[in-house]
Amino acid sequence: MRRFHFNLVDHDQVLGPTGHPVDDRDQAIAVAKRLAIDLAETRQEYLGKGFAVSVVDDSETEIHRESIDSAEKSG
């Protein structure tokens, strides 16, 4: 099982890094989408300010970025 890191980012500044083991890249992206939806629903002060959930793999490469604003609209 690989470990991906899910960072709350404000444009390019990391505000809240956390790691989570998942099976693969697709599952990591699904987790990021769920986190973005949860943040949009529970932390509305983040809406409209450019916040996103960034997914970083074990080689420290960003593989996905999920906007909290987009999650709120589609959630």
Global confidence as pTM: 0.84
Q: For residue 72, name the pLDDT band (cuts at 50, 70, 90).
A: low
Q: For residue 1, name the pLDDT band (cuts at 50, 70, 90).
A: confident
pLDDT tens digits for range 22-49: 889 999 999 999 999 999 999 989 899 9
Mean pLDDT of 54-65: 92
Q: Which of 52, 59, 53 is nearest to 3 (CA)?
A: 59
More confident residue, 1 or 52: 52
Neighbour-count burial for 21-58, b at 16+ CB within 10 Å, e otherwise:
ebeeeeebbebbbebbbebbeeeeebeeeebbbbbbee
